Amino acid sequence: MTWRAVLRVVDFQELLTSQAVLAERLEPALRNAGAPTAETQTLREGFNLLAKVLFTQRANVRELHDLAWLDHLVVAKGHGLAKTWEGERSREAFEALAESRGRLGQLVPRRGSTWTAVPVSGMAGLADLRLECGVTGTLRAGAVPHEALLELASEALQAHTPHTEGRGFLEVAHHLAVAARQVGHESVALVFASSVFDSR
């Protein structure tokens, strides 16, 4: 079993309008591969995830987790503001950070769930996308919307943790929150997603 996490600035307006890009990439992937491959499965599942989120106008913890990784690995692969972690020492540091309150606790939730909204516009009448921040099974997902990024940046500067990895996360969270705030789009949020998965 392996633990991995991503902290990523996600532009939900851009992400939710990327279905056409995924469909464009899926057709040749299917044609060239013949049998289903990991790439074609990821593209198909990503397309279906975006369709579901657009229809329901919300993303639960699992869907928020998957949206962050879809953006990181497929839609905005190779660009954007992001950092990844993996391994047991990092997981322990994040467990300690999950004790935080305020915006930091919203980004790295401890248990249960709360909802936040990210403004998006012009997509099938969707004004706000509701995001569930919390923990379900081995998945953890949190998001801090554009309007609260300065609060998060301030909290990240003031927070303390004994873990080296935790201090590194706080520095990255501060940097990404400030950078995302400067982007100036209301549809931008800082998203944290972690999971334990079978690496075999």
Q: Concatenated DSSP letters for the chain?
A: -EEEEEEEEEEHHHHHT-HHHHHHHHHHHHHHH-S--HHHHHHHHHHHHHHHHHHHTEE-HHHHHHHHHHIIIIITTT-SSEEEEESHHHHHHHHHHTT--HHHHHHS--SSEEEEEEEEEEETTEEEEEEEEEEETTEEEEEEEGGGHHHHHHHHHH---S-HHHHHHHHHHHHHHHHHHHH--TTEEEEEEEEEE---
**pLDDT > 80? residue 32:** no
Task: Point out which residues pair with 118 in neighbouring strands.
Answer: 129
pLDDT at 108 over 70: yes
Q: How far apart are CA 123 and CA 104, in angstroms?
A: 30
Residue 199 has pLDDT above 90, yes or no: no
For residues 101 and 109, give the distance between their C-alpha atoms in angstroms, rounded to a whole number: 9
**Segment 165-181 mean pLDDT:** 92
Q: Work out the percent of the chain whose per-residue pLDDT is above 70.
A: 92
Per-residue pLDDT band for 122 (boundaries 50, 70, 90) equals low
Q: Does the structure show a pLDDT above 80 at 95?
A: yes
Mean pLDDT value across residues 109-136 = 87
- pTM for the whole structure: 0.90
pLDDT at 35 over 90: no
- Average pLDDT on 85-100 reads 87
When pLDDT is averaged across residues 82-101 and rounded to a whole number, the result is 88
| Confidence bin at 34 (pLDDT 50/70/90) | low
CB 107 within 8 A of CB 152: yes
What was the pLDDT predicted at 82?
Answer: 92
pLDDT band at residue 47 under the 50/70/90 scheme = very high
